[in-house]
Amino acid sequence: MKIKIPPSSIILGFWLKRISTIILLLIPFTWSGSTQAQEPSPLLDTGTFVYSRLQLGISTTVSQDVITYALYPKAVDQQRMWDVRINVPLPAGVTFLSAEVPPTFTSNFDGREVSFFALELAPQVEIEPLIFKVSVEGLTNSLIITHAWATWKNAGFQVGVTIPAQEQLSSDSIIIAQPQLPQHLVFDLTGDVPQANYDLTSLAFQENGATLGIIFNLAGEIGKAGQLLQYTLFIDGDCNIATGEHQQQRGVEYRVNYNLEAGRATLTTWDAAIKDWRWDETTRLEAALEGKKIGLALPYHLIGLNHQFCWVAQTRPKTGDLPADWLPNEPFLALTRHEISSIAPNPIVGNLAVPLNNGQGFYDVSIFSLPAGREIARIPNARQPNFRYDGQKLLINHESVGPENLYEEEVNNYRTIFYLFKNYSATENIYEYDLTTGLETQVSDGSRDAYPFYSPQGEQLVYGNVSPAAKADTPPAFHLFVQCSLLPPHQEREGQCQNLADLSLLILDGEATPAAINYPVWTPTNRIAYQTCSGSTEAVACGIHLVSAVGTQAIEGSAVPSQLTENPTDLPADAKFNMIAFMSQRDGNWEAYLINEDGTALRNFSNSPVSHDGLPTISPNGQWVAFVSDRAGSWAVWAAPLAGGSVQKLFDLPTDTPWGNGDRSWINERISWGP
């Protein structure tokens, strides 16, 4: 195997910051002759590819001008080895510092080479690493190069018959390219699969604040999209083989996959309850292809915020009898444990849309640049904004004059107050605002449409409306509607898209009449999260629920909702990646929370029991959550890193009275963070 220097574009092109560098080499040795003249050693035959009896995992960690080399020798067949010697020449320009070994080994440095010796190496046993450290202080080299070589004697009844008494092996070069930059490389055996475009030569991890860059390096050009190939990293979040799906002695809970046929990168989560992957709830990831590499960006919060995770990688054709390529080929468990050195979030950037009371009984939506809070646009008589995924457009709820009625309902000792309009004018509709041109386009037809939210692709929307499903003998109640497109229903050509009240009303399984639901957000997994205190049985199930976005009357049958939270004050506010942001009084006062779509990782990010905090919105990169708060005596926008850490004030709202009353209470509003 030849270990090539990674192209500089790998180092410079994917998510690099100043953190530790780790390079991990999984080196297959090939026989190069023994110290005695005899027949060549037979190698372990695994089909068309052969492995040496000795494999060596080598990792290097670069931190604060110190490189730590760690070597993991392993006898991969059943033969005992003795008199094992492993040598590594000191790279040019570095200074030797120290060496550490497990009890079965000794070490020595003679000024040129670091050497390790063991009387015996047992078969199929992973030992503690052989470690030595060097200093690179003041070194300007762009490459640090060395290699490893080993000799050993074999033991067993086949020695002198089919196995030589002594063997000597040499590795290819161990190369750290631009060691001042962070990267973690794991090298694979080349030539162990028949096609170069899925023959994995190395896997790279590159930490960038709260995002992990994952790079598949291949032996050949990837080629055009549409090929039936996929590249997968399986992640064992708790490093426990007993949890998750069993893959190569790992219990994996997350599947990061690039599908070359579809040209799409996704994250899928393992569901322990059904013991299968949630294929219908995948999260899209950023991806980039260039030459012989595929780069993916994985926000850490999607896999939990632990200090480490374990992994195994696979590349394979989706059809046919060609073999898959696994990394590592042998189960080097210690070497597939990734330590997260830093989860510092990226700087706060983008635009924030905030509805503010204009003093005339209405709201105006102000758009502020982040983090300074400079107002760059204002949309009069508008509220409840929601940015499209690209930040170029946003949905707004235009306001109009109309008296309000107050309805109060008490459920399970919680008091929930609904403020609803009557006698709306025709100008109370959903519009789409173009941030570039300043033009508005009408999107909905109903005068009471509210809480608009884009679909993940920005081609549809969901919103609430009180009038179509309200009964004469009951107080008005919001219901959710899913439009076919961003055209007002009267402009649609198909009947099922025109008749919104009859066909596009969101219907839940078992409901004789539509449930009273509100505060919709559309998740990246094509589900709608909403707040409700209604159910199909006599038992009232209050809280946040999730349901498929296709469960309207236009579709045969109905959608089965699942309950995510159990507090009637939980009000969804935003959804990005696999998270739902909501505000709630569950802890006694209004606070800002996040929860994963599977109900895990509930977190209070505002965490201020003496203030009002709410209207949370998730940053476009999934690394921050912003919310409004009066914790400092006046209303302002604050932000908290999802990776954990202190909240920080971004800017004060430009008015002392930013919110209205009744239906225009602040808890009925929404802020939105766009790129």
Annotate 264-325 with DSSP letters as a single string. Answer: EEEEEEEETTTTEE-GGG-EEEEEEEETTEEEEEEEGGGG---SEEEEEEEEEESSSSPPPE
Q: In terms of residues, how long is the chain?
A: 675
Domain endpoint, select from 180, 204, 231: 180
- For 140, the domain range is 25-180
Nearest to 200 by CA among 212, 185, 189: 189
Q: Is there a domain that residue 9 lies in?
A: yes
Phi and psi at residue 666, to the nearest 5°: -60, -30
The answer to whether 104 and 127 are in contact (CB under 8 A) is yes
What CA–CA distance (Å, rounded) separates 202 from 421? 61
112 and 65 in a common domain: yes
Q: What is the pLDDT of residue 42?
A: 35
- 12 DSSP assignment: H
CATH number at residue 195: 2.60.40
Q: Is there a domain that residue 296 lies in?
A: yes
Q: Is there a domain that residue 580 lies in?
A: no
- Six token digits for residue 295: 């780069």
Residue type at 27 in one-letter notation: I
Q: Report helix, strand or coil for 69.
A: strand
Q: Which residues contact 150 (CB under 8 A, 6 or more apart)?
A: 29, 54, 56, 73, 84, 85, 86, 87, 168, 169, 170
Q: Which residues contact 409 (CB under 8 A, 6 or more apart)?
A: 416, 417, 418, 533
Computed over every residue of the chain, the mean pLDDT equals 79
For residue 5, count other CB atoms closer than 10 A to its CB.
14
The answer to whether 559 and 508 are in contact (CB under 8 A) is yes
Residue type at 294 in one-letter notation: I
Q: Report helix, strand or coil for 118.
A: strand
Phi and psi at residue 668, to the nearest 5°: -95, 10
The answer to whether 584 and 569 are in contact (CB under 8 A) is yes
Q: Is there a domain that residue 650 lies in?
A: no
Q: Report helix, strand or coil for 508.
A: strand
Q: Is there a domain that residue 319 lies in?
A: yes
Q: What is the pLDDT of residue 492?
A: 83
Q: Which residues of 11-33 are buried (b: 16+ CB within 10 A; e: fewer)?
A: bebbbbeebbbbbbbbbbbebee
pTM: 0.61
Q: Report helix, strand or coil for 344.
A: coil
100 and 150 in a common domain: yes
Q: Report helix, strand or coil for 54.
A: strand
What CA–CA distance (Å, rounded) separates 659 from 420? 17
Residues of the chain with pLDDT under 50: 1-50, 401-426, 468-474, 509-510, 512-514, 535-539, 553-557
3 and 101 in a common domain: no
431 and 420 in a common domain: yes
468 and 506 in a common domain: yes
What CA–CA distance (Å, rounded) separates 635 from 373? 13
Nearest to 30 by CA among 9, 55, 65: 55
Q: Report helix, strand or coil for 212.
A: strand
Residue type at 361 in one-letter notation: G
261 and 167 in a common domain: no
- Beta sheet of 30-31, edge-to-edge order: 30-31, 166-170, 149-155, 80-89, 113-121, 105-109
Q: Which residues contact 629 (CB under 8 A, 6 or more apart)?
A: 606, 608, 611, 612, 613, 614, 635, 636, 638
Q: Is there a domain that residue 638 lies in?
A: no
Q: What is the pLDDT of residue 400?
A: 64
Q: Is there a domain that residue 661 lies in?
A: no
CA distances from 287 to 232, 274, 623 (A): 13, 29, 18
Nearest to 336 by CA among 182, 131, 186, 175: 186
The residues that bridge with 233 in the sheet, in sequence order, are 256, 313
Q: Which residues contact 236 (CB under 8 A, 6 or more apart)?
A: 243, 244, 250, 251, 252, 253, 309, 310, 311, 312
Domain endpoint, select from 290, 309, 344: 344
147 and 61 in a common domain: yes
- Six token digits for residue 585: 């009084």
Domain endpoint, select from 126, 146, 180: 180
113 and 218 in a common domain: no
Q: Is there a domain that residue 62 lies in?
A: yes
211 and 118 in a common domain: no
Q: What is the pLDDT of residue 51?
A: 59
For residue 475, count other CB atoms closer than 10 A to its CB.
15
373 and 300 in a common domain: no
Helix/strand/coil (H/E/C) assignment for every residue in 514-578: CCCEEEEEECCCCEEEEEECCCCCCCCCCEEEEEECCCECCCCCCECCEECCCCCCCEEEEEECC
108 and 198 in a common domain: no
Q: Which residues of 280-292 are buried (b: 16+ CB within 10 A; e: fewer)?
A: ebbbebebebeeb
Q: Report helix, strand or coil for 502.
A: helix
Nearest to 453 by CA among 596, 624, 620, 572: 572
Q: What is the pLDDT of residue 504?
A: 57
CA dihedral 434, 437, 439, 442 (to 10 degrees): -30
Q: How many CA atoms lie within 13 A of 69 on its CB side?
A: 32
Residue type at 8 in one-letter notation: S
- Taking only the tens place, the pLDDT of each residue in 313-322 is 999 998 878 8
Question: Rg of the Cα trace of the chain?
Answer: 30
Nearest to 631 by CA among 612, 650, 648: 612
Q: 342: phi > 0 → left, psi -120 to 50 → alpha, else beta; which?
A: beta
- Beta sheet of 613-618, edge-to-edge order: 613-618, 624-629, 636-641, 648-652
- Six token digits for residue 611: 């203030």
Q: How many domains does the chain have?
A: 3
248 and 394 in a common domain: no
CATH number at residue 110: 2.60.40.1170
